Amino acid sequence: MAIDEIDGVKMVKPTHLSPTQVEGLRAQLIAERSEVDEPIEDPTEDADLADDPGTRLSERQAFEEMAARQTAVVEAIDHAIKRIDLGVYGTCEDCGVEIPFERLEAVPDAVLCINCQAKATG
């Protein structure tokens, strides 16, 4: 692990990932982003949708939740790509430990190690 300073902030630069691994993970993130970033159709714009206001409201809420989840996923992917560009991808944002390649392969937008992720969600 190497420590570097970026914009006045000390950041741990990982040494456990090869350039080939990082580029493979970047490609995976970019592919994931293009899949996720497809426009979601608003079901309330469907002329065949029932005229029941309750149905329309329910469909609208579901659409808004899907759009919010999609936005969150895109932001997480963009954040991971930015970390690659900064050279700090693969280190935990909380404790600075190196995130194992196997975890990054499974969850390429992971920014927390398993322990910190468990604390954050637990």
Note the pTM of the prediction, 2 decimals: 0.75
Q: Is the pLDDT of residue 55 over 70?
A: no
Between 58 and 114, name the one with better pLDDT: 114
Handedness of CA 70, 71, 74, 75 (dihedral sign): negative
> Tokens standing for 58?
């329910």
Chain mean pLDDT for the chain: 83
Query: Could you read off the pLDDT of 60-105 as tens digits, one per residue?
Result: 788 788 888 999 999 999 999 999 999 999 999 999 899 999 999 9
> Tokens standing for 75?
């932001």
Between 45 and 3, name the one with better pLDDT: 45
Residue pair 89/83 in contact by the 8 Å Cβ criterion = yes
What structural domains and CATH numbers belong to the chain? Answer: 2-121 (1.20.120.910)
The H-or-E segment that residue 59 falls in is helix 53-86
